[in-house]
Structure 1
């Protein structure tokens, strides 16, 4: 029997957990191990945690484990990391946790010191599909950068500051998802940043509706909807960052995490937004009404030509994927290109069909829409004055890399989908409505090629199966 108060308005101030078990096993729990007594047959371990904690973040495990420690140096001090892995997997688990060291330092620089630095952090291997951010001790069934960086980010977003309502679960999951994205921007020479943004946008746009705000908290699947509470929420943060600028955005996050009453407590969406507005000086109410409470995303058609020798004329049309929002008034970026020349243009549309006249020093031969992937959008079309209106449909594959399945989606209604191995052998072919799910059960790890044939065109994509 474990008595607990499960409301999201009160935290336990401390824990003292005593675990007795057969001596062949090891035990783990939150906080610091302050005592361990072993005999030939029985072991008793005492764990002490002296930070506020919500009941769902308490974790206890007993099993046959190989235990090892790591010491992570950060500007705020050293973080002790205590890990528990199955003996047969300890080498591979250790390689993944060792590789996480730059992420601790990145999060320290962006969000502030590790919140539980006076105690420790850790990982524990267990039979589950992903990970769970038990405070100071992440439980994980899979050990890879994506999962470990996500769960570590919860130490700041979810554990130090916890959502005060399941309606605002994005304050936990959206931040942890975006934090993983930030590792792809600032680490690995940035090579995974654009693919992460592109695949996350594609995942959100697989369906036309859905809000980040959770209006029905009686359905667990809706609270933890990956497309909305994780991916769309992460991109909402990405768009806010662009609108208010990096300095204001990260200053606001550090203020939010250290704000009296929120730090080691609970927060609601309004708490975060008021801090973002105060530090940036920008009003975000319209943005939140459209992107947080509203559903869907914009779909743009851009028509362009030269209205004079030195003037580029762009007319921007917008459709929305869901009737809850009639127009998303968010800035958009365009790159105008010709040979070795290009220029970045930012437009601030306020209504559908708005025309812009932009001074330019050259006559472009092409335009690129949202080149830095700032906003959630799909099905975008660029029509030059000479264009007859033939447009290649946007097709995306997500997730990629993939493990158990991948989705082929886009604005085309149906497609003939064929999968080839690295030697060019046809492995799978079907005509399917989009989005189409492809099961990867039984597929070997490696590189595959997917051909997607629609009535308008044939598109080829590379798929990595992990």
Structure 2
């Protein structure tokens, strides 16, 4: 996801304008003490404007308007660890009245038991929905209500390790949105827009699913393939993950769009969008040395926003796909598609194969595309590891500036990273690793989860050198592709790939809070007719990692 800026606050740290502070200790000739100006989020939500993926801004709004009210109990036996979800087969019939969305639907979950003696299976579905039917392998079963978001399916029989079974849940009700806008009805050009954004915990607000408990670190490694059928009025185009299998005309002027993905997806990355979109498709062609790949890139835009400039802005993603495939390996969902669809969230969300964007900004497009490798193909295993998603996506913004056609190269990278310096007040008091997963605002703190995390990635590149760094990323992808990784996994691959002991680096920069304090100065010198620059650097830090110039 992408982030926010503030209007009316010159030098806000999310933009990080670095400046010498009045009253700082005297420095030598030409010396500058690098101390970003400090600002805090405003009490007035109207000052928040989107930048990046927008989740940090939305997290602040959630803190200003906290009315959640949902209760969450720990999952019991049959929760995350006891089962392996293999496939979701979802059908949702969507009806809009004003800003209310009624959903009538079902999900058939194909599940494998990982333990002996399994008799229950916990799912997530908010209590505003009524379960109208439940079966296991076709036989009716009982479902218990555990709290406002958790239902316990009594399986009616005992399953042992390796046994596979199908759980079908039929349900209906009026959706209630949570989080960043987990399931919303908005309007564009007088026509309804239906859109989801489940990250991190809120898929339960629109479909019955296997997912972790709100506030827990969770486990995003249990990915499943997907069939998604969306029924809406025939003037609406309904989009989801993967490829379009077919469109079925239905009675009453309605249509069913059927989507399928063979790539396993984490629960929070499943999506829907429906609107009378204008649609166009371009082709991404890439030669990986063995195969020439041709993949559709699909765009769904509000007719009210369909202008040549907006089409050109989004269309730049086709070039980005080539640049990032050179850096990160072939686009990971090459056999299906990449898409961008417009949705009401004022930023972006990296739904697998189909990114939602409420903006046409270039760096947001680069950020969300970067997530397809880091976030979707390799997902943060727990929400404590969210920096692995957002730090890499933010660094992708800078890599795009460095490697895009016509770039100045390294100077563009330097400028991009200088534009992404974190606020020292936040950086000094928050670690990149998230210990407070029950605080969504902390999870998506822009200065640490995005900016400081991007600098961690950049410093790893500096320590390793370019060749070793990009080889490490290749090794990381090879080991965890289409799965999920923890920070410890990431560190292990970094060390084994580079041959470096990075314990001190990870302890200092990721697991602990604090910030680098440094000052530098320079002067021109002419020695024996040769011009030189004399550089002075003062840096305060713990440990024995190298000095960065």
Q: How does 1:322-333 map to 2 (within 5 A)?
A: 326=542, 329-333=545-549
Change in 2 beyond 3 A, CA 1:194/1:34 = same
Is 1:153 aligned to 2:370, yes or no? yes
TM-score normalised by L of structure 2: 0.56
Change in 2 beyond 3 A, CA 1:38/1:204 = farther
- 291, 296, 320: which one aligns with 1:80: 296
Query: Structure 1 residue 303: deviation in Å?
Result: 7.5
Corresponding residue SS for 1:233: helix
Is 1:258 aligned to 2:517, yes or no? no
Q: Deviations over 1:258-316 (max 9, x none)?
A: 21xx211110112112111112111111111111122222222458899xx89999875
Change in 2 beyond 3 A, CA 1:155/1:275 = same
Structure 1: distance between partners of 2:540 and 2:488: 29
- 416, 420, 444: which one aligns with 1:200: 420
Tell me how large the CA RMSD over aligned residues is: 2.7
Structure 2: distance between partners of 1:180 and 1:150: 5
Is 1:21 aligned to 2:232, yes or no? yes
Structure 2: distance between partners of 1:237 and 1:314: 26
Is 1:94 aligned to 2:311, yes or no? yes
Q: Deviations over 1:413-463 (max 9, x none)?
A: xxxxxxxxxxxxxxxxxxxxxxxxxxxxxxxxxxxxxxxxxxxxxxxxxxx
Change in 2 beyond 3 A, CA 1:64/1:210 = same
Is 1:247 aligned to 2:459, yes or no? no
Q: Name structure 2 gaps, 5 residues minimum.
A: 1-170, 172-206, 213-218
TM-score normalised by L of structure 1: 0.65
Query: Structure 1 residue 62: deviation in Å?
Result: 1.3
Structure 2: distance between partners of 1:303 and 1:38: 71
Is 1:299 aligned to 2:505, yes or no? no
Is 1:30 aligned to 2:202, yes or no? no
Corresponding residue SS for 1:117: coil
Conserved 8 A contact 2:240-2:259: yes
Is 1:11 aligned to 2:232, yes or no? no
Change in 2 beyond 3 A, CA 1:55/1:312 = closer
Change in 2 beyond 3 A, CA 1:205/1:47 = same
Corresponding residue SS for 1:34: strand
Change in 2 beyond 3 A, CA 1:54/1:234 = same
Structure 2: distance between partners of 1:34 and 1:305: 66
Conserved 8 A contact 2:228-2:258: yes
Structure 1: distance between partners of 2:334 and 2:349: 19
Q: How does 1:51-70 map to 2 (within 5 A)?
A: 51-70=263-282
2:333 paired residue number: 116
Query: Structure 1 residue 330: deviation in Å?
Result: 2.7
Change in 2 beyond 3 A, CA 1:312/1:56 = closer
Q: What is the number of residues matched between the two proteins? A: 326
Corresponding residue SS for 1:17: strand
Q: Name structure 1 gaps, 5 residues minimum.
A: 321-325, 334-466
Q: How does 1:166-315 map to 2 (within 5 A)?
A: 166-187=383-404, 188-190=406-408, 192-201=412-421, 203=423, 208-259=428-479, 262-301=480-519
The answer to which structure, 1 or 2, has the higher relative contact order (CA under 8 A, 6+ apart) is 2
